[in-house]
Structures are given as C-alpha cells and as structure tokens.
Amino acid sequence: MKRTYKVSPKKIGLRTWSKQFEKISTETISRYRYYNNGEWGIYLSPPATFMVYGMRELKRLKFDNSFEALRMWGFVFNETERLFRAKQIGKKVIATMGDLGVVPILVMSFPECVPFYPECLWWTPFFKESTELLDTASKLGVPEATCFSRAVVAAFHKKAYFPKPDLIIASTGASCDDYSCVMQTVEDMGYEVFWAEIPYRKSPEFFLNKPKPQILEKTKEGFVYPKILEEHLIREYKRIWQALFKLTGVNNPHRLVDTIKKINTLRRLVMGIKRMNEEAPIAPIPALELMVIEFGNLYGYADFDEWLEIVEMIYHLVKDRVAKGIGVLKKDAIPIAWVTPSADPYLLNLVEECGCRVVTTEYVINQALVQIEEDIEPLRALARAFINASLIGSTEERIKKIKEKIVKKQVKGVLITNMLGASHCAMETRLIEKLLSDVPILSIDVPAPFGITQQIKTRLEAFVEAMR
C-alpha cells in the first residue's frame, strides 16, 4: 500500500500534526474506514481531534510524524466510537479481561463478534484532563492500592466508554490479581461474568519431586510444563467456545482455523517490526508507537482486519526507514530493555528524550508474539502458544528470558515500570533488580495521572549518565 506523502522521520506534537494533516486529500481520508463502512467508519483525523472527547492530555505527547502512525493513532483512539457502532449495527460486543490474548481469537471465530479489552482503559486517565475514572473506582470500592485497571470499574458504572457487552469473559488464577478483583467488583455491580481459569505454570522441579510422575512438555520458547496444564487450558477454551456458541447459535470450528492463520500473519508482522527495530543502527520508530503495536496483537483494537492492514503498512514504513538508515532517534541513543508496560504513555516519550532507545521489551504479553501451530487441533495450538506467557510462570523464569534478551540485544540497562498496586509488580520488581544485578537497572513506580515530576526525570537522566 502506497503512502500518501513522505516526511523525514521525527517526533512531533499535536500542533504540527494538525498542520501536516492539511496535506492529506479528502479522497485519502475517506479511503480508511473501520468495519469497511464508508458512511460512518472513517477514522483518519489528527490526534488533536480526540481532545474534543476530553483527551486533553494528548498535548503532552510526541508522535511519529508518518502517515502510517497517523492512521494507527486515528484508529486506536477511535475504539470507543467503534464499539458503540458495532453494537448499533448488530454485532456482538464481547468483553474479555485478563486472558492475555487467547479469548479474542475464539471470539473472532464467531460471526459478527467483536472482542475488546476493558482493561486497556488503564491508560485512558492519563490522556484525560481529570482523574474521574480513577476517583469513581475508589468511590465504588476499588481504591488506590489497586492498579490503574481499576478504571474499568468506573467505566462499567458510567456506561460511557464502551457499550454493554453481550458477554463478559474474565480470567482468574494466574491472571493478574487486580484484574480479577476489578471484575469481581463489576460482577457485584450486577453484570454477569463468565469466569475462566488460567493455571499457573509451575517450575519443572515441582513436578519431578511429585510421587506420581507427570508428563512434561516444552514450548518452542523453551518453557517446560506438565501436559495437564495444556489439557486444562483446552477444557477452559471449550467452555468459552460453548458460551459463544450459545450466544451466537453458530458452531464452526473451521473459522477458528482461519482466525489462527490471520493472527499468525499479524504476529509475523509485529515480530518483523520488533526485529527490525532491534537490529537497526537508528531506531526506525518510537517506543510509544511500538508499544501500541505490541498491544494490538492481543485483539486488533476491535477491528482485526483493519488493524492487520495498519500494521502491514507500518511494517513497510519501518522496512523503508531501516533500508535508508533513517529513524526517529539519535544514533547514539542507549539501547535499553523495558520491563512491564507503562500505564502513562508519556514515560515512553520521556525515556527517549533522556537519550535512551527501547530495543527490547518484556511487557508480559510476549506470548501474543508466538506463532500458533497450524497443523494441530486448534484449541491445543492455542493452549500451547499461550503457555509461553511470562505472567503465568515464576519470576525466575521471566528473569531468565530477560537476561537472554539483554545479551542478545546488547542492552546497556533495564527499565522497569511498576504499576502501583499491581500485585505482580510488588512481588517481583525487587527480585528482578536482585537477579539482574550485573546491569544498570532503574525501577519507577508509575505515578497517578499528572504525577511525573522533576525527580522522575532526574532518575531517568542519572540512569542514562550511569550507562554512558
């Protein structure tokens, strides 16, 4: 797909984007639309447009100046509108929570079903000029000691950020405890929740010491797990499938095979983008855009086909920039690994302003990058791909993977962004710091909206000075 105009890569603010937008023809604007609807599905607009909907803090951010990034941001910010439209035109809107990217694959295999992640609202308060969502969550009984995903409780209460879902599927078990807590509160508010259990991936030693030996398997990523874990996941996926069958009246397993193929195409593209970013001498795309792309792997921002096209377009942009040896950061930017995503997108901008370059990430959604086997029974293939999830295993295993990346990507330092209140952050950050003692590490508790202060900047700058 051809780009509409060419610009030298750099990061720009809202004002510049709005000026640049004037160069885009009406014909081009109308070409890109969600749900392939030319009447109301047009989403291309400068990011400043979304300030009208209260996202006034977008003014803090710097964006990639490419047309491809513009298309991506227009699409991503348009998600709320898209979900309400989906409902209006008779699609079934399915909320999935805490499952780390598998349930949407099942949902997308049913006709006219649109999955979305309510927890992705966790960064919405950081775009808003008020902390209303978080304050409301506190009033509803989910206080500050819970991660920013508590915004979901307020969203369900306000009925304004997404339509009432036709089905809510929430995960518990090895999923994030805060997500489970949030969804239990939503359930208490009168919403019906379909619960699925994600089991913990215990270390192989645990099973070897059991009197009854277990059959052990190994994922392509190198995680050893007992076969019963795979069987358990398949049972859970079958339950979800049945629930979706009940909702839609359709049961066509061939659609799952097709969905897996499409998902694999997206994952290949995203892996390609990540690989090019890691290997290029100059960062071809900013960390913020990369994070949005990585998260899109989970569900395609509620219109998978359009998202796939967007990512394909970005893939070609990155390829082009790498071939030309151009990018968005200075050549001497220090390569770092980023562990756990930041709820506040501004931090990704700030880290780059301080002289770093994110070459690898451990956003606890790495399993959404793994190729799903296409030559075995699909539910088993989904289970086997999912077992690679770092969040369901031990911190030691996660650290081992981070260490491998550090060596492979020649990372000079590790940045950990903690989500205040998120149980796994509280449990594992100190352990990560201890076990990665041979490389400079900086851990930051991501503060509540508007909380990034001079001290956080000082810490980032000192982190850079220590690595130089």
Partner 1 sequence: MVLGIDVGSIYTKGVLFEGKVIKKIVLRTAYKPKEAIEAVKNALSGYEKIIATGYGRELVADAYKIVTEISAFARGATYFNPEVKTVIDIGGQDSKIIKIKNGRVVKFVMNDRCAAGTGNFIEKIAHALNLSLEEFGAMALKSEKPETIDSLCVVMAETEILSLIQEGKKIEDIIFGVCDSVIRRINGIAGPLGIEEPVLFCGGGALNPGLVRALRRYYPEIFVPEESQFVGAIGAAMME
**Nearest approach, Cβ of 342 to partner 1 (angstroms)?**
17
Q: Answer whether 446's CB lies under 8 Å from 419's CB.
A: yes
145 binds partner 1 (CB under 8 A): no
CB nearer to partner 1: pick between 276 and 439? 439
**Shortest gap between Cβ of 459 and partner 1 (angstroms)?**
6
Which of 403, 445, 448, 450 is close enough to bind partner 1 by CB under 8 A? 445
Piece of the chain touching partner 1 by CB under 8 A; list 108-116, 130-138, 299-307, 435-443: 435-443
C-beta of 209 vs 454, nearer to partner 1: 454
- Between 410 and 453, whose beta carbon lies closer to partner 1? 453
CB of 174 to partner 1, least distance (A): 25
CB of 434 to partner 1, least distance (A): 5
Q: How many residues does the chain have?
A: 468
Of residues 89 and 462, the one with the C-beta less far from partner 1: 462
Residue 197 interacts with partner 1 (CB under 8 A): yes or no: no
Torsion of CA 375, 381, 387, 389, to 10 degrees: 90
Q: Choose the binding region for partner 1 from 1-9, 15-23, 139-147, 460-468 (rule: CB under 8 A).
A: 460-468
Structure tokens at 233: 């996941």
Amino acid making up residue 99: D
Stretch of 142-150, 159-167, 368-376, 431-439 contacting partner 1, by CB under 8 A: 431-439
455 interacts with partner 1 by CB under 8 A: yes
Cα→Cα distances 444→361, 402, 461, Å: 16, 18, 13
x/- mask, partner 1, residues 380-419, rule CB under 8 A, reads ----------------------------------------
Which residue's CB is nearer to partner 1, number 286 or number 440?
440
Q: Which is nearer to partner 1, 318 or 356 (CB)?
A: 356
Applying CB under 8 A, does 441 fall inside the site for partner 1? yes
Q: Interface with partner 1 includes 434 (CB under 8 A)?
A: yes
Core vs surface per residue 287-308: b (16+ CB within 10 A) or e: bbbbbbbbbbbbbbbbbbebbb
Establish if 462 lies at the interface with partner 1 (CB under 8 A): yes
The least distance separating partner 1 from the CB of residue 406, rounded to whole angstroms, comes to 15
Q: What is d(CA 40, CA 49) in angstroms, rounded to the nearest whole number?
A: 16
- Quote the least distance from Cβ 426 to partner 1, whole Å: 13
User: Should residue 440 be labelled a site residue for partner 1 when binding is judged by CB under 8 A?
Assistant: yes
Task: Extract the tokens encoding 68.
Answer: 């491809």
The answer to whether the CB of 459 falls within 8 A of the CB of 444 is yes
Q: Is 465 in the site for partner 1 (CB under 8 A)?
A: yes
In the complex, the residues that contact partner 1 under the rule CB under 8 A are 430, 433-434, 437, 440-441, 445, 453-456, 458-459, 461-462, 465-466
